[in-house]
Amino acid sequence: MEEQENIAEEKAAEKEEEEKTIAEKRVENFLNELGLKNIYESPIFIEDDKKRPRLWSPDFFLPELGIYIEVCGAQRRAYKYRRQIYEANKIPVIFVKTFYSEKSWKEYILKGIRRIHQERCDLITKKGLFYKLSSD
């Protein structure tokens, strides 16, 4: 029984690897180089622009940082819509355009991570959460 489960897991991993685009593989390799744990297409629940529940699967989730990454294969309108929906749902997502220079998109990921964490720190400070914790 355990052997069958292992075989099924291996087949699922192979299928997942086949489904990844070249751009997604490049981003995954970079995340691995950084030592960042990443989960491919981890599903999340969102509300669309009509407040309907939807299940989306961003390309990568960084569980240690609580950040999602969408890899843009080309400039399309769908990314603009997705960006708006993620923002409305307050889901931190970095949209990576790997069709730009390699240095450029790698720097963009790093800047995006710093930006999101700075926004989180600013929000905590604005809401006075540091002070509430220290005064208890």
- Identify the burial level of 76 via C-beta atoms within 10 angstroms of its C-beta, where 0-12 means exposed, 13-18 middle and 19 or more buried: exposed
Do residues 103 and 34 lie in contact, with contact meaning Cβ atoms separated by under 8 Å? no
Overall number of domains in the chain: 1
Per-residue pLDDT reduced to its tens digit, 88-128: 999 999 999 888 787 899 999 999 999 999 999 999 888 88
Q: Which residues contact 29 (CB under 8 A, 6 or more apart)?
A: none
Residue 50: give the domain boundaries.
2-135
The mean of the pLDDT values for the chain is 86
Q: What is the pLDDT of residue 133?
A: 56
Token pair 């730009």: residue: 100
What is the C-alpha separation between 89 and 87, in angstroms, rounded? 5
Q: Quick check: 27 pLDDT over 90?
A: yes
Residue 63 pLDDT > 70, yes or no?
yes
How far is the C-alpha of 5 from the C-alpha of 63, rounded, in Å? 25
Which contiguous run of DSSP H or E holds residue 116?
Answer: helix 102-126
Query: Tens of pLDDT along 32-57?
Result: 999 999 999 999 999 999 999 999 99
Split at pLDDT 50, 70, 90, the class of 17 is low
Is there a contact between 40 and 87 (Cβ–Cβ < 8 Å)?
A: no
Spatial separation of the C-alpha atoms in residues 78 and 37, rounded to whole Å? 27
The yes-or-no verdict on residue 136 having pLDDT over 80 is: no
